[in-house]
Amino acid sequence: MIIVGERINGQFPQVSKAIDARDAKFIQDMATQQIDAGADILDVNTGPGRDDGPEAMAWLVRTIQDAHDVRLAIDSPGLKTQEAGLSACKRTPLINSTTAEEKRMEKFFPMAVQHDAEMVCLTINEKGIPNSVEGRTEVAMVLLATAMDKGLDPGKIYLDPVVLPIGAAQDQCPVVCEAVSAFRCLNTPPPKTLVGLSNVSSGAEERSLLNSTYLTMLLGRGLDAAIVDPLDEQLMRSVKASDILLNKKLYAHSFLRA
C-alpha cells in the first residue's frame, strides 16, 4: 500500500506558522518524522487563504527536497499554486487533485501531462458527490475517459471515491467500500484507487480506531493508496498487518518492525 503523509498542511496551526516564518527546520523535521514512520509520498498543502500561495508552495517543495529524496503530492485547488509546486518537484509528482467538473478537468489534466505527473481524481461533478456506488462509478468513468482524451495515461490516475465524515454521512461508509471494488472493473489493468482517510473520523471520538478499522476494510476491497497521518502508530500497525494478511508482504515474526 502507498502511504501519503498528510501532516505538511497549512491547516495545522504549527505548520502555518512555520510557513509564515519560513522555518525550514520545522518543515524538514516534519518530513523526516513521516518518512521514518513509513510515508512513501508527502502531501504538501500551504493551507487556505494565503496571498503568497505560489511562493509558499515552491518554498515548501524546495525545503523538503533539500533534506529528502521523496515524492511529493502537490495539494492545492489553485492553478498557480499547483504550477509552482509542480515546477519545483525533482521526482514524479502527484497532483492532489481534480474533480470531474469540466472547468477543472480542462485545466488540470493538461497540467498533469505537461509535468508527467500522477493525478488524484475525485468522483465529484457539478452536481456534487453522488450518494450511490453507481453514481460514483459513472463519474469515475467520465474522469478516466476525459483523462485519456487529454493524453494522460490511465496508469497515472488514482480514483478517489470521496470519504465523508461518519458523523454526517454514516450510510456512505459502505458505499465507498463498494465503489473501490467497482472502480477496479473500469479498465484493464484496474485503475488505482486512493482515499483521504482522515475525513471519515472528522468530528468523531476515537479517531485512530475509526481510521485504522476503515482503512483495513478498504484494503480488503483492493485500495492502493491513502492520505493518512503516518504518525498514528495504531493505523500504521494495521497497514503492516493488512499487507501480511492480503499476501502483499512476506510474513515474518518481526513484520511490525520491518
Give the model confidence (pLDDT) of 117-164 as tens digits.
Answer: 999 999 999 999 999 999 999 999 999 999 999 999 999 999 999 999
Residue in the structure block whose three cell numbers are 500504521: 236
Please determine, for residue 50, whether its predicted confidence score (pLDDT) is greater than 80.
yes
pLDDT score, position 257: 87
Banded pLDDT at 209 (limits 50, 70, 90)? very high
pLDDT score, position 23: 98
Q: Does the bond joining 191 to the residue before it have cis omega, within 30 degrees of 0? A: no
Per-residue pLDDT tens over the stretch 74-91: 999 999 999 999 999 999
Q: Does the bond joining 190 to the residue before it have cis omega, within 30 degrees of 0? A: no
10: helix, strand or coil: coil
pTM of the model: 0.97
Please determine, for residue 49, whether its predicted confidence score (pLDDT) is greater than 90.
no
Phi, psi of 136 (to 5 degrees): -65, -40
Q: Which three cell numbers stand for residue 228?
A: 493518512
Closest CA to 113 of 54, 61, 154, 55: 154
